[in-house]
Amino acid sequence: MSSTSVTGVGHLLRLVLRRDRVRLPLWVVGLGGTIVASALAVPPLYDTPEKIAGYARTVGASPVSYLMSGRQVGLDTLGGIVANEISQVAQLGICLMVVFLVVRHTRAEEESGRAELLRSTVLGRDAATLAGLVYGVATALLVGAITTTSMLAAGLDAGGSLTYGTGLALLGVAYTAVTLVAVQLSTSARGALGLAGAAVAVGYLVRGLGAMEDNALVWLSPFGWAQGMDAFGDERWWPAALLLGFTALLLAVAARLMAHRDFGGGLLATRPGPARAGRLLSTPFGVAARLQRGLLLGWAVGLFLLGMLYGAVIPTVPDLIASNPEMADVVGASGQAAEDALVDAFLGYIYLFMAVIACGFVVSSVLRLRAEEEAGRTEMVLATPVSRTSWMAATTAVALIAAAKLTVLMGLGLAVGYGVGSGEWDRVLPQVGGQLAYLPGTLVVGALAVALHGLLPRGTGLAWAAVALIALQVILGQLLGLPDAVQAISPFWHLAAVPVDDFEVVPYTGLLLLTAALVAAGLWGYRRRDAVTG
Amino acid sequence: MAVIELHDVVKTFGPTHALDHLDLTVEQGEVHGFLGPNGAGKSTTIRVLLGLLRADSGTATMLGGDPWHDAATLHRRLAYVPGDVSLWPNLSGGEVIDVLARMRGGLDEARRTEMLERFDLDPTKKARTYSKGNRQKVALVAALASRADLYLLDEPTSGLDPLMEAEFQEAVLELKQEGATILLSSHILAEAEALADRISIIRAGRVVQSGTLAELRHLTRTTVIVETDRPADGIAQVPGVHDPEVHGNRTTFDVDSDHLDAAVTALAGLGVRSLAAHPPTLEELFLRQYGDEVDS
């Protein structure tokens, strides 16, 4: 980068801040607020040395905790407990934040053509990339600072708080660099989001697996490096160098790619398509399904692999009892019964966790309706004899059916992973059935997005807020001691926690009926409102 | 029989009056030019006709039905080209054409092939790689390849090159010969002048003039440029004459169409050496319409 190639980056950053004057505070306050609340909630819960010691032997040593939060050191201190409790939300949250924000201001701008207009002004060739970098780094540092401050406010060890906040911020910085590479590769913002999102998922899963198996795999993931700084333990700083080196390396790659590509171009070329439409494209349902093909395929592969991975580690769950007898007391049984109870608890959490992830799919799928309408493409469809109801119903059906298919796939993934890991193939149906026990929760969230699109088109973002709230309830609901009235917002809270609890028909059917009602309300509203026009 | 009949239609977006008691009539079988500057309400009118927007008040009839309530039924007989064409980025142009045509209830294969050829469009390219003009062509081919009674064309040639513009004009005239009705919103006045049987000029949400080109011309002034032996100083006194400019023997002035006879008579005694009179072009009509309104 020469100095003239970044001319105008200041102007660009001001524009970025102006455009994100709502979005940025939402991310920072949402993520930072969750971290603050969690950090402050831990000390009152663990107010005796016995309770703290108990945490280290039970919760902190559970397979779910290893898989989701890694192996946090210092679990016999309050700081270690706080770090362990917040790390899942904080680490995934900071990575997703920089991915969304950076893609939004780099590739999305370029794809829309707005960047072209800007580039015609006195603006260097690399200014947009540099602005993306500065923005991502600054937001990551901000969230890291909030984390350290809230830990200090909770009365935790100063050195540990600083180390933890630094590791978290540097993780965000590293994924800013990952995102900047992704936006060079793909010509579409959606593609770049997919690539960068997959990189987050891989880093998170690799660390989780490594922690579960307690092996060197954790050192292949930026998540592992951040955690490897051992905040509230030895507090070593050399893993920070790994994060920074990784960042520098990726930035060099991004700069090189940037220098060799055209404006608007990428490395993944666009291939020509068919001259005629296939038979599938003869109905609104077929068209809606075709438009979502890429989205569906990506999620199907991702969630199947995720299921497999979780399935594969199930056989190692009972080992934790052997190495930790107190675990048996926690699950209230011993011997084979304890092992089964532990596996059930693990499975229940995995089902729930994957169902919540599927909520992300179903919302992004339904909200394609909104994107299509804003882009003006719905206008062309509605100018044909296709009615509003059938167009919206087609997209809704695609989204909800796909959610059901993905649920079956996740269950199959679990079963296959379990089969590979244990050599036993007798659990296929129970796994699929268990995963399906959580499907109505996912469907209700999709139906909420449908209702919002029909009744409150400007408020479709609330569907994402609902997903965030549900994730929060699932991951931190108990820790934060949320009252039942608040927890009840999550549809999953009403469902039986299969396989720990027995399946219950009433809430299951109730949520399915609610899904139908919300979809009907959305369709009703859509018939009555003005189309959003560009 | 009127194919489109809008009467006293009002549509507001918050404080903005997009349509302000708009009246518009489009007769069966005519090409109706719909002219107006940016933001005058052309696209809003078309979106009301498409049932995308619901009028706040007033009556709207299209093809004998209610554009809002009977939208899907009426759209069997209608084809639409938006002014700002957005296509599904991951579908090819050919796929988009087929999708829209099938939704409309089938397409004429021969015409599809013919239109692709006439508009020189490669249907295998992904929509995300098309230029603005090519996206426009995809929408045009999709509309023109299916048979419809009514074509709603919202600035259909923005981004087209002059060759394609000529193809477009020819295609519209063919549609007209087949008896179709066309509402053509446009900025390109030469295009409206070449194609339109009748014209409506819209300004700030209302139609301010409507009629055939001849009628509109009649309502306005003819420009006269004359060279005479003796200076035509007296021309300013003739009623109906505007903006006379006398430079020695050369005189230019505008005259109201119904006073043209008196003006020519006044010139007769002055020894006319050359005389050129031309009715206003549509562009002059248009500019004059706005100039006058702005002045008043």
Q: Is A274 on the interface with B (CB under 8 A)?
A: yes
User: What is the residue-level pLDDT of chain B in tens, covering all 296 positions?
Assistant: 799 999 999 999 888 899 999 999 999 999 999 998 888 899 999 999 999 899 999 999 999 999 999 988 999 999 999 988 889 888 899 999 998 888 888 788 999 999 999 999 999 999 888 999 999 999 999 999 888 999 999 999 888 999 999 999 999 999 999 999 999 998 777 888 889 999 999 988 999 889 998 888 777 778 889 999 888 888 888 888 888 888 888 998 888 878 888 888 888 888 889 988 887 777 777 777 666 544 43
B61: phi then psi, degrees, rounded to nearest 5: -130, 140
Residue B25's identity, in one-letter code, is T
Nearest alpha-carbon partner for A524 in A466, A450, A462, A460:
A450
Looking at beta carbons, which residues of chain B come within 8 Å of A376?
Answer: 82, 84-86
Each residue's pLDDT tens digit, A67-104: 889 999 999 999 999 999 999 889 999 999 999 999 99
- What pLDDT is recorded for position B294? 42
* Residue B36, min C-alpha distance to chain A (Å): 19
pTM: 0.82
Q: Is B149 on the interface with A (CB under 8 A)?
A: no
Q: Is B204 on the interface with A (CB under 8 A)?
A: no
- What pLDDT is recorded for position A212? 84
Going by the DSSP 8-state scheme, the letter that residue B234 receives in this structure is G
What residues have CB less than 8 Å from A64, skipping those under 6 apart?
A: A345, A346, A349, A350
Q: Do A274 and B92 touch (CB under 8 A)?
A: yes
Q: Is A262 on the interface with B (CB under 8 A)?
A: no
Q: Residue B281 in 3-state DSSP?
A: coil
Separation CA A446–CA A461 (nearest Å): 13
Looking at beta carbons, which residues of chain A come within 8 Å of B126?
Answer: 270-273
CB-nearest to A382 from B52, B73, B84 is B52
* Residue A532, min C-alpha distance to chain B (Å): 8
Q: Which two tokens stand for residue A497?
A: 């926690």
Query: How far is CA B156 from its chain centroid?
Result: 10
Q: Is A268 on the interface with B (CB under 8 A)?
A: no
Return the number of other C-beta atoms located less than 10 Å from residue A180's C-beta.
29
DSSP-derived secondary structure for A253-299: HHHHHHHTS-TT--SSPPPP--SS--GGGGSHHHHHHHHTHHHHHHH
Separation CA B121–CA B168 (nearest Å): 13
Instruction: For CA atoms A75, A77, A80, A85, give the dihedral sign.
Output: positive
Separation CA A135–CA A120 (nearest Å): 22
Looking at beta carbons, which residues of chain B come within 8 Å of A294?
Answer: 90
Query: How far is CA A379 from its chain centroid?
Result: 32
Helices A238-259 and A127-153: crossing angle, nearest 10°? 160
Give yes or no for a contact between A440 and A359, defined as CB atoms under 8 angstroms apart.
no
Sort residue B6 into left (φ over 0), alpha (ψ -120 to 50) or beta. Answer: beta
Q: Is B47 on the interface with A (CB under 8 A)?
A: yes
Each residue's pLDDT tens digit, A147-190: 999 999 999 999 999 999 999 999 999 999 999 999 999 888 88
Give yes or no for a contact between A31 and A179, defined as CB atoms under 8 angstroms apart.
no
Looking at beta carbons, which residues of chain A come within 8 Å of B98?
Answer: 276-277, 281
Looking at beta carbons, which residues of chain A come within 8 Å of B152?
Answer: 383
Q: Is B103 on the interface with A (CB under 8 A)?
A: yes
Q: What is the largest CA-CA distance in chain A?
A: 72
Q: Do A275 and B94 touch (CB under 8 A)?
A: yes
- What pLDDT is recorded for position B64? 93
CA nearest to B81 within chain A:
A380
Q: Is B182 on the interface with A (CB under 8 A)?
A: no
- What pLDDT is recorded for position B291? 62
Separation CA A477–CA A483 (nearest Å): 9
* Residue B144, min C-alpha distance to chain A (Å): 13
Nearest alpha-carbon partner for A210 in A201, A202, A219:
A219
Q: Which two tokens stand for residue A276?
A: 């005629």
User: What is the residue-level pLDDT of chain A in tens, covering all 534 positions?
Assistant: 556 778 888 888 999 999 999 999 999 999 999 999 999 988 888 888 888 888 888 777 778 788 889 999 999 999 999 999 999 889 999 999 999 999 999 999 888 878 877 777 777 788 899 999 999 999 999 999 999 999 999 999 999 999 999 999 999 999 999 999 999 998 888 889 999 999 999 999 999 989 988 899 999 999 999 999 999 999 999 999 999 999 999 999 999 998 888 777 777 766 788 888 888 888 999 999 999 998 899 899 889 988 988 888 888 788 766 666 666 676 666 778 888 888 888 899 999 999 999 999 999 999 999 989 988 899 999 999 999 999 999 999 999 999 999 999 999 999 998 988 788 888 888 889 999 999 999 999 999 999 999 999 999 999 999 999 999 888 887 788 888 888 898 999 999 998 989 999 999 999 999 999 999 999 999 999 998 765
* Residue B85, min C-alpha distance to chain A (Å): 7
* Residue B4, min C-alpha distance to chain A (Å): 16
- The strand order across the sheet containing B250-256 reads B241-247, B250-256, B221-228, B272-278
* Residue A464, min C-alpha distance to chain B (Å): 24
CA nearest to B146 within chain A:
A384
Q: Is B159 on the interface with A (CB under 8 A)?
A: no
Q: Do A534 and B84 touch (CB under 8 A)?
A: yes
- What pLDDT is recorded for position A320? 67
Task: For tokens 């949250």, name the residue.
Answer: A93
- The ipTM is 0.77
Each residue's pLDDT tens digit, A411-445: 999 999 898 878 888 888 888 999 999 999 999 99
